[in-house]
Amino acid sequence: MIRLGLVGRKLGHSYSRFLFTEKFAALGIEGEYAMYELENIKEVRDIVRQHRLNGFNVTIPYKESIIPLLDRIDPKARAIGAVNTVSVSDDTTLTGYNTDIDGFDALLNSAIAKHWYRPRKSTPSAVILGTGGAAKSVAYVLSLHNADITLISRSTSPLGWIKKAGYKQASYSELTDSILYHTDIIVNATPLGMYPDTDAAPPINYDAIQPHSIALDLIYNPQETKFMKLCLAHGVYTANGMRMLEVQAEEAWKIWNDTT
């Protein structure tokens, strides 16, 4: 029996249980993927012990705050500063990994392959909305594509990790039409528009986004978010986060099979 799960604060939006239940059935494995809604991430060790977990995923808002609670961390996850997959060995040893990177890389590559537009510049301009755990993975992948990256925050206070990585930071009021006009790739890495608040969208001027751009939403529930609808209305290529979800889950599955 393999016991897996998802740790986060509110999990009504998640498809992970569905994905893993399908996987157990397809492979003929006896397994369970349970949802653990925690008020405080410090409860995680009790959950692991009580439910004898072999591994788990981590979601909003704990991808960063889980790091001090781990025994070991994969160097890439440490460098990025976000963990979305944890393996449990010897019943209590927690090792953290980041498979959102693989997921976002797959989403970005499939969008570039399907879109008529190929980045015209060797340094494409990328705008990432949000500065949380997922934004860290998105920025890392875009940096490997040699992108010029600006992260947009509600806050005007500079964030250390953004400066350290050499990215730019701006507030929503500093996100000018000129920046949006020259943006090749725009990513919604905020929860705005996610079920059940499906009428929400990041507060940017959608009229300034050009049809040559690619707009990616990490949200997959609903399938077409308000952010995607607003971008589509301007002829922009859009994709949701389903491909990212599937690939990060596949990579997590490989880690659990190799390490537990």
Within 77-205, strands assigned E span: 85-89, 93-97, 125-129, 148-153, 168-171, 185-188
Binding residues among 210-239 for ligand NAP as defined by CB under 6 A: 218-220
Choosing from 244, 251, 252, 256, the residue that interacts with ligand NAP (CB under 6 A) is 244
Q: Measured in whole angstroms, how far is the alpha carbon of residue 116 from the centre of its chain?
A: 25
- Burial of 120: CB neighbours in 10 Å, binned 0-12, 13-18, 19+: exposed
- Please state whether 130 falls in left (phi above 0), alpha (psi between -120 and 50) or beta: left
| 63 binding ligand NAP? (CB under 6 A) | yes
| 81 binding ligand NAP? (CB under 6 A) | no
Is 63 among the residues known to form the active site? yes
- Write the interaction track for ligand NAP spanning residues 82-101; mark x where CB under 6 A is met and - where it is not: ------------------x-
Quote the CA–CA distance of 202 and 161 in Å, as a whole number: 22
- Rounded to the nearest whole angstrom, what is the least distance from the CB of residue 248 to ligand NAP in the complex? 5
Give the active site residue among 10, 23, 42, 63: 63
| Site size toward ligand NAP, by CB under 6 A | 26
Give the residue closest to ligand NAP by C-beta. 132
Q: Are 30 and 1 in contact (CB under 8 A)?
A: yes
CA distances from 172 to 166, 175, 203 (A): 19, 5, 7
Choosing from 17, 24, 32, 61, the residue that interacts with ligand NAP (CB under 6 A) is 61
Which residues are known catalytic residues? 63
Which residues of the chain form contacts with ligand NAP (CB under 6 A)? 60-61, 63, 100, 103, 130-135, 153-155, 189-192, 194, 218-220, 241, 244-245, 248
